[in-house]
Structure 1
Amino acid sequence: MQDESVLMRQLRRFGFESKAWAMRRFHCPVNPDALVLEVGSGGNPYPRANVLLDAYETTRERHWAPLSADRPTVLGFVENLPFRDQVFDFVIAAHVLEHSTQPEQFLSELQRVARAGYIEVPDAFLERVNPYRDHRLEITCRDNTLLIWKKPSWRPEKDIVELYEDRVKSVMTRSLVPRHPFEFHVRYYWENKIAYRVINPEVDAAWAPPESAPHGGVAGGVRAQVRDFLRWGLSQRRRNASIVLDPLLRCPTCLGESLTRSSELIVCAQCNTVYPVRRGIPVMNEGAAA
Protein backbone atom coordinates (compact mmCIF):
# COMPACT_ATOMS: atom_id res chain seq x y z
CA MET A 1 0.00 0.00 0.00
CA GLN A 2 1.45 3.36 -1.06
CA ASP A 3 2.11 5.38 2.10
CA GLU A 4 3.00 8.64 0.33
CA SER A 5 1.70 10.40 -2.75
CA VAL A 6 4.04 11.44 -5.57
CA LEU A 7 3.72 15.05 -4.43
CA MET A 8 4.65 14.12 -0.86
CA ARG A 9 7.74 12.24 -2.02
CA GLN A 10 8.87 15.13 -4.20
CA LEU A 11 8.39 17.67 -1.43
CA ARG A 12 10.40 15.52 0.97
CA ARG A 13 13.08 14.97 -1.63
CA PHE A 14 13.67 18.71 -1.85
CA GLY A 15 13.55 19.25 1.89
CA PHE A 16 10.00 20.57 2.27
CA GLU A 17 9.10 18.21 5.11
CA SER A 18 6.42 20.39 6.68
CA LYS A 19 4.67 20.89 3.33
CA ALA A 20 4.74 17.15 2.66
CA TRP A 21 3.30 16.57 6.13
CA ALA A 22 0.39 18.87 5.38
CA MET A 23 -0.27 16.98 2.14
CA ARG A 24 -0.64 13.64 3.94
CA ARG A 25 -4.25 14.49 4.79
CA PHE A 26 -5.08 14.43 1.09
CA HIS A 27 -3.48 11.03 0.51
CA CYS A 28 -5.73 8.01 0.85
CA PRO A 29 -4.60 4.97 -1.19
CA VAL A 30 -8.04 3.67 -2.18
CA ASN A 31 -10.15 3.47 -5.31
CA PRO A 32 -12.69 6.23 -5.96
CA ASP A 33 -15.57 3.86 -5.19
CA ALA A 34 -14.14 2.70 -1.83
CA LEU A 35 -16.27 3.46 1.22
CA VAL A 36 -14.07 5.18 3.81
CA LEU A 37 -14.78 5.64 7.52
CA GLU A 38 -12.93 8.07 9.76
CA VAL A 39 -13.05 7.52 13.53
CA GLY A 40 -12.28 10.36 15.90
CA SER A 41 -12.90 12.76 13.03
CA GLY A 42 -13.36 15.82 15.26
CA GLY A 43 -13.49 19.27 13.73
CA ASN A 44 -11.26 18.66 10.71
CA PRO A 45 -12.02 15.32 9.03
CA TYR A 46 -9.97 13.89 6.20
CA PRO A 47 -11.41 14.92 2.82
CA ARG A 48 -11.61 11.35 1.51
CA ALA A 49 -13.68 10.03 4.41
CA ASN A 50 -17.29 9.26 3.46
CA VAL A 51 -18.63 8.48 6.93
CA LEU A 52 -17.51 10.09 10.19
CA LEU A 53 -17.58 8.83 13.77
CA ASP A 54 -16.69 10.64 16.96
CA ALA A 55 -17.51 10.03 20.60
CA TYR A 56 -18.64 13.56 21.41
CA GLU A 57 -20.03 16.67 19.77
CA THR A 58 -17.54 18.70 21.79
CA THR A 59 -14.84 17.64 24.23
CA ARG A 60 -11.80 18.97 26.03
CA GLU A 61 -9.68 16.36 24.27
CA ARG A 62 -9.95 18.35 21.05
CA HIS A 63 -9.84 21.71 22.85
CA TRP A 64 -13.63 22.17 22.70
CA ALA A 65 -13.60 22.53 18.92
CA PRO A 66 -17.06 21.74 17.51
CA LEU A 67 -17.66 18.51 15.65
CA SER A 68 -17.65 18.79 11.87
CA ALA A 69 -20.63 16.90 10.45
CA ASP A 70 -20.48 17.88 6.79
CA ARG A 71 -21.17 14.29 5.67
CA PRO A 72 -22.89 11.23 7.22
CA THR A 73 -21.89 11.27 10.90
CA VAL A 74 -22.46 8.96 13.86
CA LEU A 75 -21.66 9.41 17.54
CA GLY A 76 -20.18 6.30 19.12
CA PHE A 77 -17.13 4.74 20.73
CA VAL A 78 -14.37 3.15 18.67
CA GLU A 79 -14.05 0.35 21.22
CA ASN A 80 -17.65 -0.64 20.37
CA LEU A 81 -18.30 0.62 16.87
CA PRO A 82 -21.98 0.83 15.88
CA PHE A 83 -21.30 -0.59 12.41
CA ARG A 84 -21.73 -4.01 10.84
CA ASP A 85 -18.81 -6.29 10.00
CA GLN A 86 -16.63 -5.37 7.00
CA VAL A 87 -18.91 -2.64 5.66
CA PHE A 88 -16.01 -0.26 4.98
CA ASP A 89 -13.12 -0.62 2.58
CA PHE A 90 -10.83 1.65 4.58
CA VAL A 91 -10.79 3.27 8.03
CA ILE A 92 -8.78 6.31 9.10
CA ALA A 93 -7.81 6.70 12.78
CA ALA A 94 -5.62 9.79 13.04
CA HIS A 95 -4.60 10.99 16.49
CA VAL A 96 -7.24 8.98 18.32
CA LEU A 97 -5.71 5.60 19.29
CA GLU A 98 -3.50 7.29 21.91
CA HIS A 99 -6.66 8.44 23.73
CA SER A 100 -7.97 4.90 24.24
CA THR A 101 -7.73 3.01 27.53
CA GLN A 102 -8.45 -0.25 25.67
CA PRO A 103 -6.06 -0.46 22.70
CA GLU A 104 -6.73 -4.15 22.08
CA GLN A 105 -10.47 -3.56 21.71
CA PHE A 106 -9.89 -0.38 19.70
CA LEU A 107 -7.73 -2.16 17.13
CA SER A 108 -9.99 -5.21 17.06
CA GLU A 109 -12.96 -3.03 16.13
CA LEU A 110 -11.08 -1.30 13.31
CA GLN A 111 -10.29 -4.70 11.82
CA ARG A 112 -13.87 -5.87 12.27
CA VAL A 113 -15.53 -3.06 10.32
CA ALA A 114 -12.90 -2.44 7.61
CA ARG A 115 -10.56 -4.35 5.35
CA ALA A 116 -7.68 -1.88 5.52
CA GLY A 117 -6.79 1.41 7.12
CA TYR A 118 -4.44 4.10 8.35
CA ILE A 119 -3.37 4.91 11.91
CA GLU A 120 -1.48 8.05 12.88
CA VAL A 121 -0.22 8.88 16.38
CA PRO A 122 2.59 10.83 18.06
CA ASP A 123 5.65 8.62 18.40
CA ALA A 124 6.34 7.17 21.85
CA PHE A 125 9.49 9.27 22.25
CA LEU A 126 7.61 12.52 21.71
CA GLU A 127 4.82 11.39 24.03
CA ARG A 128 7.32 10.40 26.72
CA VAL A 129 9.10 13.76 26.90
CA ASN A 130 6.19 15.97 25.83
CA PRO A 131 3.10 14.17 27.20
CA TYR A 132 -0.48 15.24 26.67
CA ARG A 133 -2.82 15.08 29.63
CA ASP A 134 -5.48 13.15 27.70
CA HIS A 135 -3.18 10.62 26.02
CA ARG A 136 -3.33 7.17 27.63
CA LEU A 137 -0.82 5.38 25.40
CA GLU A 138 2.71 5.65 24.06
CA ILE A 139 3.05 4.08 20.62
CA THR A 140 5.88 3.44 18.20
CA CYS A 141 6.39 1.19 15.19
CA ARG A 142 9.15 -1.36 14.66
CA ASP A 143 9.29 -3.93 11.87
CA ASN A 144 5.80 -2.86 10.77
CA THR A 145 4.41 -3.73 14.21
CA LEU A 146 2.82 -1.22 16.56
CA LEU A 147 4.37 -1.34 20.02
CA ILE A 148 2.03 0.07 22.65
CA TRP A 149 2.73 1.07 26.24
CA LYS A 150 -0.15 1.95 28.55
CA LYS A 151 0.63 5.05 30.58
CA PRO A 152 0.12 4.63 34.36
CA SER A 153 -0.42 8.39 34.60
CA TRP A 154 -0.47 11.30 32.20
CA ARG A 155 3.17 12.16 32.95
CA PRO A 156 4.89 8.90 34.01
CA GLU A 157 8.46 10.23 33.71
CA LYS A 158 8.02 13.46 35.67
CA ASP A 159 11.75 14.16 36.18
CA ILE A 160 12.56 13.71 32.49
CA VAL A 161 9.61 15.88 31.46
CA GLU A 162 10.66 18.66 33.82
CA LEU A 163 14.21 18.61 32.45
CA TYR A 164 12.85 18.65 28.91
CA GLU A 165 10.48 21.52 29.61
CA ASP A 166 13.20 23.53 31.32
CA ARG A 167 15.84 23.08 28.62
CA VAL A 168 14.60 22.08 25.18
CA LYS A 169 10.80 22.15 24.87
CA SER A 170 10.70 25.47 23.02
CA VAL A 171 13.29 24.26 20.51
CA MET A 172 11.49 20.94 20.00
CA THR A 173 7.96 22.26 19.61
CA ARG A 174 8.75 25.44 17.69
CA SER A 175 11.53 24.23 15.43
CA LEU A 176 12.53 20.57 15.42
CA VAL A 177 9.12 18.87 15.36
CA PRO A 178 7.54 21.27 12.81
CA ARG A 179 10.54 20.86 10.50
CA HIS A 180 10.73 17.07 10.86
CA PRO A 181 7.18 15.88 11.62
CA PHE A 182 7.60 12.45 10.03
CA GLU A 183 10.31 11.53 12.54
CA PHE A 184 8.10 12.38 15.51
CA HIS A 185 4.94 10.59 14.42
CA VAL A 186 3.88 7.07 13.54
CA ARG A 187 2.11 6.59 10.20
CA TYR A 188 0.89 3.02 9.92
CA TYR A 189 -0.98 1.54 6.96
CA TRP A 190 -2.49 -1.91 7.34
CA GLU A 191 -4.39 -4.39 5.22
CA ASN A 192 -6.39 -7.37 6.52
CA LYS A 193 -4.59 -7.35 9.88
CA ILE A 194 -3.04 -4.86 12.31
CA ALA A 195 0.23 -6.15 13.74
CA TYR A 196 0.60 -4.85 17.28
CA ARG A 197 1.79 -5.74 20.77
CA VAL A 198 0.80 -4.19 24.08
CA ILE A 199 3.98 -4.24 26.15
CA ASN A 200 2.37 -3.77 29.57
CA PRO A 201 -1.25 -5.00 29.40
CA GLU A 202 -1.46 -5.17 33.19
CA VAL A 203 -1.34 -1.35 33.52
CA ASP A 204 -4.64 0.46 34.07
CA ALA A 205 -4.71 3.51 31.81
CA ALA A 206 -8.17 4.65 32.93
CA TRP A 207 -6.84 7.34 35.27
CA ALA A 208 -8.49 10.72 35.68
CA PRO A 209 -6.64 13.40 33.70
CA PRO A 210 -5.67 16.66 35.42
CA GLU A 211 -7.98 19.60 35.00
CA SER A 212 -7.19 22.23 32.42
CA ALA A 213 -8.64 25.58 31.50
CA PRO A 214 -11.10 25.66 28.58
CA HIS A 215 -9.46 26.29 25.23
CA GLY A 216 -10.84 28.60 22.62
CA GLY A 217 -11.04 25.86 20.02
CA VAL A 218 -9.48 25.64 16.60
CA ALA A 219 -8.06 28.90 15.39
CA GLY A 220 -9.84 30.67 12.56
CA GLY A 221 -8.44 33.07 10.02
CA VAL A 222 -7.25 32.64 6.47
CA ARG A 223 -5.41 29.38 7.15
CA ALA A 224 -8.53 27.72 8.54
CA GLN A 225 -10.61 29.03 5.63
CA VAL A 226 -8.15 27.58 3.12
CA ARG A 227 -8.16 24.26 5.00
CA ASP A 228 -11.96 24.11 5.00
CA PHE A 229 -12.13 25.04 1.31
CA LEU A 230 -9.67 22.30 0.35
CA ARG A 231 -11.56 19.76 2.43
CA TRP A 232 -14.81 20.81 0.76
CA GLY A 233 -13.32 20.76 -2.73
CA LEU A 234 -11.57 17.40 -2.41
CA SER A 235 -14.34 15.48 -0.66
CA GLN A 236 -16.84 13.27 -2.48
CA ARG A 237 -19.67 15.70 -1.79
CA ARG A 238 -22.30 14.29 -4.14
CA ARG A 239 -21.64 10.73 -3.15
CA ASN A 240 -21.57 11.54 0.56
CA ALA A 241 -24.95 13.27 0.29
CA SER A 242 -26.46 10.06 -1.10
CA ILE A 243 -25.07 7.67 1.54
CA VAL A 244 -27.72 6.03 3.72
CA LEU A 245 -26.38 5.09 7.14
CA ASP A 246 -29.07 2.59 8.13
CA PRO A 247 -27.66 -0.44 6.21
CA LEU A 248 -24.26 0.18 7.83
CA LEU A 249 -25.39 0.38 11.45
CA ARG A 250 -25.76 -2.25 14.14
CA CYS A 251 -26.81 -2.05 17.78
CA PRO A 252 -23.74 -1.61 20.03
CA THR A 253 -25.70 -3.04 22.97
CA CYS A 254 -26.73 -6.46 21.61
CA LEU A 255 -24.93 -6.33 18.23
CA GLY A 256 -28.24 -6.82 16.45
CA GLU A 257 -28.67 -5.50 12.92
CA SER A 258 -32.44 -5.00 12.90
CA LEU A 259 -32.84 -1.29 13.59
CA THR A 260 -35.85 0.93 13.02
CA ARG A 261 -35.24 4.62 12.50
CA SER A 262 -37.43 7.68 12.75
CA SER A 263 -36.46 11.34 12.61
CA GLU A 264 -35.69 11.39 16.34
CA LEU A 265 -34.97 7.79 17.37
CA ILE A 266 -33.31 4.53 16.38
CA VAL A 267 -34.77 1.44 18.03
CA CYS A 268 -33.17 -2.00 18.10
CA ALA A 269 -35.82 -4.66 17.40
CA GLN A 270 -33.70 -7.31 19.11
CA CYS A 271 -33.03 -5.72 22.53
CA ASN A 272 -35.38 -2.70 22.40
CA THR A 273 -32.56 -0.25 23.12
CA VAL A 274 -33.44 3.27 21.98
CA TYR A 275 -30.83 5.65 20.59
CA PRO A 276 -31.53 9.35 20.02
CA VAL A 277 -31.02 11.11 16.71
CA ARG A 278 -29.92 14.71 17.18
CA ARG A 279 -29.76 17.08 14.22
CA GLY A 280 -29.76 14.05 11.94
CA ILE A 281 -26.83 12.39 13.77
CA PRO A 282 -27.44 8.95 15.31
CA VAL A 283 -26.17 9.01 18.90
CA MET A 284 -25.19 5.37 19.29
CA ASN A 285 -23.34 5.80 22.59
CA GLU A 286 -26.41 6.95 24.54
CA GLY A 287 -28.70 3.95 24.36
CA ALA A 288 -31.52 3.45 26.85
CA ALA A 289 -34.03 0.65 27.41
CA ALA A 290 -37.38 1.24 25.74
Structure 2
Amino acid sequence: MLLRRTSLNFVNNTLSKNSKWKIVDIGCGYGANEFATVVADTQDLSSFYKEKNFVKINDKELPFKDKEFDFVICSHVIEHVEDFEFFVKELERISSKGYIELPTRLGDNIVFENKQDHIWWFTFDDVINEIVASKRNQLMDPFITVSTAKLFEKIFRESFVLELAWEEKIEYKIDNQIRNDNIKKISFYKLIKKFFSKKLRTFF
Protein backbone atom coordinates (compact mmCIF):
# COMPACT_ATOMS: atom_id res chain seq x y z
CA MET A 1 0.00 0.00 0.00
CA LEU A 2 1.58 3.28 -1.12
CA LEU A 3 -0.37 5.59 1.19
CA ARG A 4 -2.19 4.66 4.38
CA ARG A 5 -3.40 5.98 7.69
CA THR A 6 -0.99 5.68 10.58
CA SER A 7 -0.26 7.35 13.91
CA LEU A 8 2.62 9.52 15.04
CA ASN A 9 3.25 7.11 17.91
CA PHE A 10 3.67 4.23 15.46
CA VAL A 11 5.96 6.32 13.24
CA ASN A 12 8.14 7.39 16.18
CA ASN A 13 8.37 3.79 17.33
CA THR A 14 9.57 2.79 13.84
CA LEU A 15 12.12 5.61 13.72
CA SER A 16 13.46 4.73 17.16
CA LYS A 17 14.31 1.25 15.87
CA ASN A 18 16.20 2.58 12.83
CA SER A 19 18.94 4.73 14.33
CA LYS A 20 21.04 4.57 11.14
CA TRP A 21 18.35 6.19 9.02
CA LYS A 22 18.91 9.70 7.70
CA ILE A 23 15.69 11.52 8.63
CA VAL A 24 14.68 15.05 7.63
CA ASP A 25 11.89 17.14 9.16
CA ILE A 26 10.62 19.73 6.66
CA GLY A 27 9.07 23.03 7.79
CA CYS A 28 8.76 22.10 11.44
CA GLY A 29 9.68 25.47 12.91
CA TYR A 30 10.78 25.01 16.52
CA GLY A 31 9.07 21.63 16.87
CA ALA A 32 11.32 19.17 15.05
CA ASN A 33 10.75 15.47 15.52
CA GLU A 34 13.16 14.08 18.10
CA PHE A 35 14.45 11.46 15.66
CA ALA A 36 15.18 13.90 12.82
CA THR A 37 18.88 14.07 11.93
CA VAL A 38 18.32 17.03 9.59
CA VAL A 39 15.94 19.96 10.04
CA ALA A 40 14.91 22.20 7.12
CA ASP A 41 12.85 25.37 7.30
CA THR A 42 12.34 28.69 5.52
CA GLN A 43 13.32 30.46 8.75
CA ASP A 44 16.95 30.52 9.84
CA LEU A 45 16.80 28.37 12.97
CA SER A 46 20.42 27.27 12.94
CA SER A 47 21.08 28.80 16.37
CA PHE A 48 18.16 26.85 17.82
CA TYR A 49 19.09 23.48 16.30
CA LYS A 50 22.72 23.36 17.38
CA GLU A 51 22.59 19.60 17.97
CA LYS A 52 21.03 18.82 14.59
CA ASN A 53 22.07 19.55 11.02
CA PHE A 54 19.99 22.57 9.99
CA VAL A 55 19.40 23.53 6.34
CA LYS A 56 17.62 26.72 5.29
CA ILE A 57 15.08 26.47 2.47
CA ASN A 58 15.36 29.39 0.05
CA ASP A 59 13.49 28.11 -2.99
CA LYS A 60 10.57 25.94 -4.08
CA GLU A 61 12.98 23.14 -4.86
CA LEU A 62 14.17 21.51 -1.66
CA PRO A 63 17.97 21.81 -1.23
CA PHE A 64 18.65 18.08 -1.18
CA LYS A 65 19.80 15.38 -3.58
CA ASP A 66 17.50 12.74 -5.02
CA LYS A 67 16.70 10.04 -2.43
CA GLU A 68 19.08 11.65 0.04
CA PHE A 69 16.97 10.56 3.01
CA ASP A 70 15.58 7.31 4.34
CA PHE A 71 12.54 9.08 5.77
CA VAL A 72 10.96 12.54 5.46
CA ILE A 73 8.59 14.12 7.99
CA CYS A 74 6.23 16.87 6.89
CA SER A 75 3.84 17.96 9.63
CA HIS A 76 1.31 20.79 9.13
CA VAL A 77 3.17 22.24 6.16
CA ILE A 78 1.39 21.24 2.95
CA GLU A 79 -1.76 23.22 3.78
CA HIS A 80 0.39 26.39 3.53
CA VAL A 81 1.97 25.61 0.14
CA GLU A 82 0.48 27.28 -2.94
CA ASP A 83 2.05 24.86 -5.43
CA PHE A 84 0.84 21.73 -3.67
CA GLU A 85 1.63 19.37 -6.56
CA PHE A 86 5.24 20.52 -6.94
CA PHE A 87 5.88 20.22 -3.21
CA VAL A 88 4.54 16.66 -3.11
CA LYS A 89 6.86 15.73 -5.98
CA GLU A 90 9.77 17.23 -4.04
CA LEU A 91 8.99 15.06 -1.01
CA GLU A 92 8.93 12.00 -3.28
CA ARG A 93 12.21 13.10 -4.89
CA ILE A 94 14.26 13.38 -1.70
CA SER A 95 13.00 10.19 -0.02
CA SER A 96 11.20 6.93 -0.74
CA LYS A 97 8.99 7.06 2.36
CA GLY A 98 7.70 9.41 4.99
CA TYR A 99 5.04 10.76 7.31
CA ILE A 100 2.56 13.53 6.53
CA GLU A 101 0.37 15.25 9.11
CA LEU A 102 -2.46 17.55 8.03
CA PRO A 103 -5.29 19.39 9.78
CA THR A 104 -8.78 18.02 9.20
CA ARG A 105 -11.43 20.35 7.79
CA LEU A 106 -13.05 20.51 11.22
CA GLY A 107 -9.84 21.39 13.02
CA ASP A 108 -8.97 23.94 10.35
CA ASN A 109 -12.31 25.72 10.77
CA ILE A 110 -12.67 25.94 14.53
CA VAL A 111 -9.15 27.00 15.55
CA PHE A 112 -8.45 30.75 15.68
CA GLU A 113 -4.90 30.56 14.35
CA ASN A 114 -5.85 28.48 11.28
CA LYS A 115 -6.75 31.39 9.02
CA GLN A 116 -5.55 33.00 5.81
CA ASP A 117 -2.18 31.24 5.69
CA HIS A 118 -3.92 27.90 5.16
CA ILE A 119 -4.60 27.51 1.45
CA TRP A 120 -5.75 23.89 1.23
CA TRP A 121 -8.24 21.55 2.84
CA PHE A 122 -7.55 17.82 3.01
CA THR A 123 -9.52 14.63 3.42
CA PHE A 124 -8.43 11.03 2.92
CA ASP A 125 -10.24 8.58 0.67
CA ASP A 126 -10.00 5.26 2.51
CA VAL A 127 -11.39 3.30 -0.44
CA ILE A 128 -8.62 4.12 -2.91
CA ASN A 129 -6.08 5.39 -0.35
CA GLU A 130 -5.43 8.87 -1.65
CA ILE A 131 -5.38 12.42 -0.34
CA VAL A 132 -8.14 14.67 -1.64
CA ALA A 133 -7.10 18.34 -1.70
CA SER A 134 -9.43 21.28 -2.22
CA LYS A 135 -9.17 25.02 -1.68
CA ARG A 136 -9.87 26.01 1.92
CA ASN A 137 -13.30 27.37 2.83
CA GLN A 138 -14.18 28.96 6.18
CA LEU A 139 -17.60 27.55 7.06
CA MET A 140 -17.86 28.56 10.69
CA ASP A 141 -16.58 31.13 13.14
CA PRO A 142 -13.40 29.81 14.84
CA PHE A 143 -13.76 29.60 18.59
CA ILE A 144 -10.82 27.75 20.15
CA THR A 145 -7.11 28.48 20.43
CA VAL A 146 -4.28 26.20 19.30
CA SER A 147 -3.47 25.39 22.92
CA THR A 148 -7.08 24.30 23.54
CA ALA A 149 -7.06 22.27 20.34
CA LYS A 150 -3.92 20.48 21.54
CA LEU A 151 -5.81 19.40 24.67
CA PHE A 152 -8.72 18.12 22.57
CA GLU A 153 -6.30 16.27 20.28
CA LYS A 154 -5.23 14.02 23.14
CA ILE A 155 -8.70 12.48 23.16
CA PHE A 156 -10.13 13.30 19.72
CA ARG A 157 -6.92 13.30 17.67
CA GLU A 158 -8.47 11.73 14.56
CA SER A 159 -11.01 14.59 14.48
CA PHE A 160 -8.26 17.21 14.33
CA VAL A 161 -5.44 15.70 12.27
CA LEU A 162 -4.83 13.32 9.39
CA GLU A 163 -1.79 11.09 10.00
CA LEU A 164 -0.53 9.40 6.86
CA ALA A 165 2.43 7.18 5.97
CA TRP A 166 3.63 6.82 2.39
CA GLU A 167 6.11 4.75 0.40
CA GLU A 168 7.43 5.51 -3.09
CA LYS A 169 4.46 7.72 -4.06
CA ILE A 170 1.99 10.10 -2.41
CA GLU A 171 -1.33 9.42 -4.09
CA TYR A 172 -3.58 12.47 -4.31
CA LYS A 173 -6.13 14.31 -6.38
CA ILE A 174 -7.19 17.95 -6.43
CA ASP A 175 -10.90 18.57 -6.19
CA ASN A 176 -11.65 21.79 -8.07
CA GLN A 177 -15.39 21.57 -7.64
CA ILE A 178 -16.88 24.74 -6.16
CA ARG A 179 -19.29 23.95 -3.36
CA ASN A 180 -20.84 25.41 -0.24
CA ASP A 181 -21.53 28.76 -1.92
CA ASN A 182 -25.09 28.74 -0.65
CA ILE A 183 -24.27 27.58 2.87
CA LYS A 184 -24.45 30.33 5.46
CA LYS A 185 -21.41 30.44 7.72
CA ILE A 186 -22.11 28.71 11.02
CA SER A 187 -21.87 31.09 13.95
CA PHE A 188 -20.43 29.61 17.13
CA TYR A 189 -22.15 32.28 19.19
CA LYS A 190 -25.54 31.37 17.75
CA LEU A 191 -24.87 27.73 18.56
CA ILE A 192 -24.06 28.67 22.17
CA LYS A 193 -27.20 30.80 22.35
CA LYS A 194 -29.32 27.89 21.12
CA PHE A 195 -27.60 25.53 23.55
CA PHE A 196 -28.31 27.68 26.60
CA SER A 197 -31.81 28.46 25.37
CA LYS A 198 -32.55 24.74 25.27
CA LYS A 199 -30.98 24.23 28.70
CA LEU A 200 -33.15 26.99 30.19
CA ARG A 201 -36.31 25.54 28.68
CA THR A 202 -35.41 22.15 30.14
CA PHE A 203 -34.62 23.68 33.53
CA PHE A 204 -37.93 25.49 33.83
TM-score by length of 2: 0.69
TM-score by length of 1: 0.50
Match of 1:199 among 158, 163, 175: 175
Which residue identity lines up with residue 68 of structure 2 in the other structure? V
Q: Deviations over 1:45-75 (max 9, x none)?
A: 11111111001127xxxxxxx8534311111
Cα distance, 1:175 vs structure 2: 6.2
Aligned equivalent of 1:51: 38
Which residue identity lines up with residue 188 of structure 1 in the other structure? L
Provide the C-alpha distance between the structure 1 equivalents of 2:99 and 2:159, rounded to a whole number of angstroms. 17
Cα distance, 1:117 vs structure 2: 0.4
Going from structure 1 to structure 2, the CA distance change for 1:91 and 1:174 (only over 3 Å counts) comes to: closer
Which residue identity lines up with residue 27 of structure 1 in the other structure? N
Gapped regions of structure 1 (runs ≥ 5): 5-20, 59-65, 203-290
Provide the C-alpha distance between the structure 2 equivalents of 1:69 and 1:193, rounded to a whole number of angstroms. 32
Aligned equivalent of 1:70: 51
Aligned equivalent of 1:188: 164
1:85 pairs with 2:66: yes
Provide the C-alpha distance between the structure 1 equivalents of 2:89 and 2:50, rounded to a whole number of angstroms. 25
Provide the C-alpha distance between the structure 1 equivalents of 2:177 and 2:43, rounded to a whole number of angstroms. 27
Identity of aligned residues (%): 26
Provide the C-alpha distance between the structure 2 equivalents of 1:116 and 1:25, rounded to a whole number of angstroms. 11
Provide the C-alpha distance between the structure 1 equivalents of 2:48 and 2:109, rounded to a whole number of angstroms. 29
Going from structure 1 to structure 2, the CA distance change for 1:111 and 1:178 (only over 3 Å counts) comes to: same
Q: Deviations over 1:73-105 (max 9, x none)?
A: 111157310111111111000111111111101
Provide the C-alpha distance between the structure 1 equivalents of 2:98 and 2:150, rounded to a whole number of angstroms. 30
Aligned equivalent of 1:102: 83
Matched pairs, number? 167
The DSSP-based 3-state class of the residue aligned with 1:183 is: helix
Alignment of 1:149-188 (within 5 A): 149-151=134-136, 156-157=137-138, 160-162=139-141, 165=143, 169=144, 173=149, 176-188=152-164
Q: Tell me which of the two structures has the higher relative contact order, counting C-alpha pairs closer than 8 angstroms and 6 or more residues apart.
A: 2
Aligned equivalent of 2:132: 147
The DSSP-based 3-state class of the residue aligned with 2:18 is: coil
Cα distance, 1:122 vs structure 2: 0.9
The question of whether the paired residues in 1 share the 8 Å contact of 2:38 and 2:53 is answered with: yes
Aligned equivalent of 1:27: 13
1:42 pairs with 2:29: yes
Going from structure 1 to structure 2, the CA distance change for 1:149 and 1:48 (only over 3 Å counts) comes to: same
Gapped regions of structure 2 (runs ≥ 5): 179-204
The question of whether the paired residues in 2 share the 8 Å contact of 1:90 and 1:115 is answered with: yes
The DSSP-based 3-state class of the residue aligned with 1:141 is: strand
Provide the C-alpha distance between the structure 2 equivalents of 1:185 and 1:193, rounded to a whole number of angstroms. 21
Going from structure 1 to structure 2, the CA distance change for 1:177 and 1:86 (only over 3 Å counts) comes to: closer
Going from structure 1 to structure 2, the CA distance change for 1:120 and 1:67 (only over 3 Å counts) comes to: farther
Q: Deviations over 1:210-241 (max 9, x none)?
A: xxxxxxxxxxxxxxxxxxxxxxxxxxxxxxxx
The question of whether the paired residues in 2 share the 8 Å contact of 1:42 and 1:67 is answered with: no
The question of whether the paired residues in 1 share the 8 Å contact of 2:5 and 2:164 is answered with: no
Provide the C-alpha distance between the structure 2 equivalents of 1:177 and 1:2, rounded to a whole number of angstroms. 17
Q: What RMSD, in angstroms, separates the aligned Cα atoms of the two structures?
A: 3.0
The DSSP-based 3-state class of the residue aligned with 1:180 is: helix
Cα distance, 1:129 vs structure 2: 4.0
The DSSP-based 3-state class of the residue aligned with 1:139 is: strand
Which residue identity lines up with residue 197 of structure 1 in the other structure? K
The DSSP-based 3-state class of the residue aligned with 1:187 is: strand
